[in-house]
């Protein structure tokens, strides 16, 4: 807890926003971290705590948007990265640690025979799409409306559509960034998330032209609402009927289980896009799949069907930190952190019931989210990815010593335990009562 109140226009963070905005658009390099009225600047992080430049301590429920599954500066990860940096941070040669991380991941997940590393989840999704296109020789992909998959133009199509669009049974392919070429939009087919009937109709019509269906098995809004088994079964059926590939975006979802998120549906994906936790806190992305499909990256005497370079791909620091992080994520540790997620969701539900607040407690595995129902607009159509922001609530949590992701989303780290539940629920109660 801190004496500082947010917002504070005398604070160092505020002054850094002003100074930064002279040389950086919005004073930074990530649209996703901008907050209103200004973004906090961080000094350090240790375990589950972060400290901002004004000395404010916060319990970090954001964990760099779910990527820091062990929280900040886990000693084993720091040591692995430090040791590698002292030997060199990047080479244009192979390094054994890349093979070790690939072996670790391939041993865990059915369907991972080979992996290709890159530097972000965005690149993973881009290469997943390009691999499906190279393998099938088809141009189009399908994806769910409002589903976030990073900032590759095809993958961001129809993200953040207006609430009025949500009543449309045939969602439209809509540009997210200004200036997106119409040709990109023409090759993206949008389906309504978790709507089996309408998705079946659209996919049956478009199926023969589709290279693949890109989807997030953690569902809408960073795991807020999971896809139904029936929806996943439909995607698998479409694969069999139309010869397209299932591209599972597990950039966040890979934190769900030891053997990948699709194991819980018993439907293996053809290509899986990875990122976040597998880099141990360093920039990372990866695509995994069968040897047959991953052969698109392979050159023999001829150029590969999908040539893929990258100056920092599989850089040994990321590989070493990622290996240390993933090695610690044993089946027991996945179980513990998922049980903690369930305990958080249960305790939050109790607070909401006690106070008789109209709200839905969402989430799965090691994430939770609180959707407070608008008395006028009603419950959100969360199944299609919408998310509500309540004025002032993020600031209230910051002032109480907690940093949540937008839409009151919390992502747990292994640095947390049962003792964190009660203080958080007491704070939640106080904030809800004040609202
Ligand atoms: C599901 C999903 N896919 C892709 C990405 C893009 O990953 P990155 O931010 O590493 O480019 C994200 C990022 O949050 C994500 O949540």
CA of 150 to the centre of ligand 1 (A): 5
CA of 171 to the centre of ligand 1 (A): 22
Q: Measure CA of the first residue to CA of the last residue in the chain; give whole Å.
A: 20
Going from N- to C-terminal start, the domains of the chain cover: 7-38, 75-328, 331-407+431-435
Residue nearest to atom 9 of ligand 1 (CA): 121
Residue nearest to atom 7 of ligand 1 (CA): 121
What number does the ligand 1 atom closest to the CA of 125 have? Answer: 4
Ligand 1 pocket test: pick from 68, 125, 272 the residue with the most ligand atoms within 8 Å of its Cβ.
125
Which positions of the chain have pLDDT values less than 50? 1-2, 382
- The C-alpha atoms of residue 30 and residue 283 are separated, in whole angstroms, by 14
What is residue 350's predicted lDDT score, i.e. its pLDDT? Answer: 98
What number does the ligand 1 atom closest to the CA of 66 have? Answer: 14
What is residue 139's predicted lDDT score, i.e. its pLDDT? Answer: 98
List, in order, residues 6 or more apart from 248 with CB less than 8 Å away: 215, 216, 217, 260, 261, 262, 269, 271, 272, 273
pLDDT in tens, 314-349: 999 999 999 999 999 999 999 999 999 999 999 999
Give the pairing of strands 49-52 and 42-46. Answer: antiparallel
The number of angstroms, rounded, from the C-alpha of 430 to the middle of its chain's C-alpha atoms is: 30
CA of 216 to the centre of ligand 1 (A): 10
Task: Characterize 160-181 residue by residue with b for buried, 16 or more Cβ atoms within 10 angstroms of its Cβ, and e for exposed.
Answer: ebeeebbeeeebebbbbeeebe
What is residue 113's predicted lDDT score, i.e. its pLDDT? Answer: 98
CA of 251 to the centre of ligand 1 (A): 6
CA of 252 to the centre of ligand 1 (A): 7
Ligand 1 pocket test: pick from 149, 159, 279, 407 the residue with the most ligand atoms within 8 Å of its Cβ.
149
What number does the ligand 1 atom closest to the CA of 150 have? Answer: 6
List, in order, residues 6 or more apart from 435 with CB less than 8 Å away: 372, 390, 393
List, in order, residues 6 or more apart from 243 with CB less than 8 Å away: 136
What number does the ligand 1 atom closest to the CA of 120 have? Answer: 10
CA of 364 to the centre of ligand 1 (A): 18
Residue 410: DSSP 8-state: E
CA of 153 to the centre of ligand 1 (A): 13
Which residues make beta-bridge pairs with 118?
A: 285
Residue nearest to atom 2 of ligand 1 (CA): 149
pLDDT in tens, 220-230: 889 999 999 99
Which residues make beta-bridge pairs with 140?
A: 210
List, in order, residues 6 or more apart from 80 with CB less than 8 Å away: 280, 320, 321, 323, 324
- The C-alpha atoms of residue 129 and residue 135 are separated, in whole angstroms, by 10
Which CB contacts under 8 angstroms, 24+ apart, belong to 13-20? 13/38, 13/39, 13/40, 13/41, 13/52, 13/53, 13/54, 14/38, 16/41, 16/53, 17/41
Cα-Cα-Cα-Cα dihedral sign, residues 116, 123, 328, 96? positive
340 closest CA partner among 364, 362, 324: 364
Which CB contacts under 8 angstroms, 24+ apart, belong to 229-237? 229/265, 230/196, 231/193, 231/194, 231/195, 231/196, 231/199, 232/262, 232/265, 232/267, 233/265, 233/267, 234/196, 234/199, 234/200, 234/203, 235/267, 236/267
Residue 416 CB-density burial (10 A; 0-12 exposed, 13-18 middle, 19+ buried): buried
Which residues make beta-bridge pairs with 143?
A: 190, 214
What number does the ligand 1 atom closest to the CA of 123 have? Answer: 11
Residue nearest to atom 13 of ligand 1 (CA): 150
CA of 285 to the centre of ligand 1 (A): 9
Ligand 1 pocket test: pick from 276, 285, 369, 407 the residue with the most ligand atoms within 8 Å of its Cβ.
276
CA of 273 to the centre of ligand 1 (A): 10
Neighbour tally for 196: CB within 10 Å: 16
- The C-alpha atoms of residue 1 and residue 3 are separated, in whole angstroms, by 7
What is residue 300's predicted lDDT score, i.e. its pLDDT? Answer: 85
What number does the ligand 1 atom closest to the CA of 276 have? Answer: 10
Q: Are 127 and 150 in contact (CB under 8 A)?
A: no
Q: Topology of 75-328 in CATH?
A: 3.40.640
List, in order, residues 6 or more apart from 391 with CB less than 8 Å away: none
CA of 149 to the centre of ligand 1 (A): 5
Reduced to 3 states (helix: H, G, I; strand: E, B; else coil), residue 345 is helix
What number does the ligand 1 atom closest to the CA of 121 have? Answer: 7
Residue 367: φ, ψ to 5°: -130, 150
Tokens of residue 351, six digits: 């607070």
What is residue 2's predicted lDDT score, i.e. its pLDDT? Answer: 44
Sheet holding 402-403, edge to edge: 42-46, 49-52, 57-60, 402-403
**pTM exceeds 0.85, yes or no:** yes
Residue nearest to atom 5 of ligand 1 (CA): 150
What number does the ligand 1 atom closest to the CA of 285 have? Answer: 10
Tokens of residue 297, six digits: 């990256």
Ramachandran area for residue 281 (φ above 0: left; ψ -120 to 50: alpha; else beta): left
Q: What residues line ligand 1, using a CB cutoff of 6 Å?
A: 65, 120-122, 125, 148-150, 216, 249, 251-252, 275
List, in order, residues 6 or more apart from 422 with CB less than 8 Å away: 347
Residue nearest to atom 15 of ligand 1 (CA): 149
């Amino acid at each position: 807890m801190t004496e500082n109140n947010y917002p504070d226009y005398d604070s160092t963070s505020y002054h850094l926003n002003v100074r930064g905005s002279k040389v950086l658009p919005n004073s930074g390099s990530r649209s996703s971290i901008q907050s209103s009225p200004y973004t906090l600047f961080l000094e350090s992080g240790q375990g589950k705590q972060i400290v901002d430049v004004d000395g404010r301590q916060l319990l970090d429920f954001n964990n760099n948007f779910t990527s820091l599954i062990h929280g900040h500066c886990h000693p084993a990860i720091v040591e692995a990265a430090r040791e590698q940096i002292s030997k060199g941070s990047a080479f244009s040669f192979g390094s054994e640690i890349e093979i070790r991380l690939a072996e670790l991941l391939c041993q865990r997940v059915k369907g991972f025979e080979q992996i290709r590393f890159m530097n972000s989840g965005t690149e993973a999704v881009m290469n997943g799409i390009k691999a499906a296109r190279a393998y099938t020789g088809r141009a189009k992909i399908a994806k769910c409306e409002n589903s976030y998959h990073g900032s590759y133009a095809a993958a961001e199509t129809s993200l953040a559509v207006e609430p009025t669009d949500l009543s449309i049974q045939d969602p439209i392919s809509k540009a997210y960034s200004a200036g997106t070429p119409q040709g990109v939009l023409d090759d993206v087919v949008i389906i309504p998330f978790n709507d089996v009937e309408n998705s079946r109709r659209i996919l049956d019509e478009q199926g023969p032209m589709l290279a693949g269906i890109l989807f997030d098995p953690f569902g809408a809004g960073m795991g807020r609402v999971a896809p139904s088994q029936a929806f996943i079964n439909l995607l698998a059926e479409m694969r069999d009927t139309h010869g397209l590939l299932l591209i599972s975006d597990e950039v966040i979802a890979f934190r769900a289980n030891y053997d990948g998120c699709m194991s819980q549906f018993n439907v293996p994906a053809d290509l899986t896009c990875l990122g976040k936790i597998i880099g141990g806190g360093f920039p990372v992305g990866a695509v995994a799949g069968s040897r047959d499909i991953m052969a698109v990256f392979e050159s023999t005497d001829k150029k590969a069907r999908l040539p893929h370079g990258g100056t920092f791909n599989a850089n040994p620091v990321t590989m070493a930190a990622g290996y240390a992080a993933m090695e610690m994520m044993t089946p027991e540790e996945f179980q513990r952190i998922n049980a903690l997620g369930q305990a958080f969701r249960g305790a939050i539900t109790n607070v909401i019931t006690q106070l008789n607040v109209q709200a839905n407690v969402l989430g799965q595995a090691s994430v939770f989210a609180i959707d407070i129902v608008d008395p006028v607009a009603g419950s959100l159509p969360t199944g299609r990815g919408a998310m509500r922001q309540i004025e002032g609530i993020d600031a209230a949590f910051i002032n109480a010593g907690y940093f949540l992701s937008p839409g009151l989303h919390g992502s747990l780290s292994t640095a947390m335990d049962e003792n964190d539940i009660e203080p958080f629920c007491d704070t939640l109660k106080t904030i809800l009562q004040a609202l």
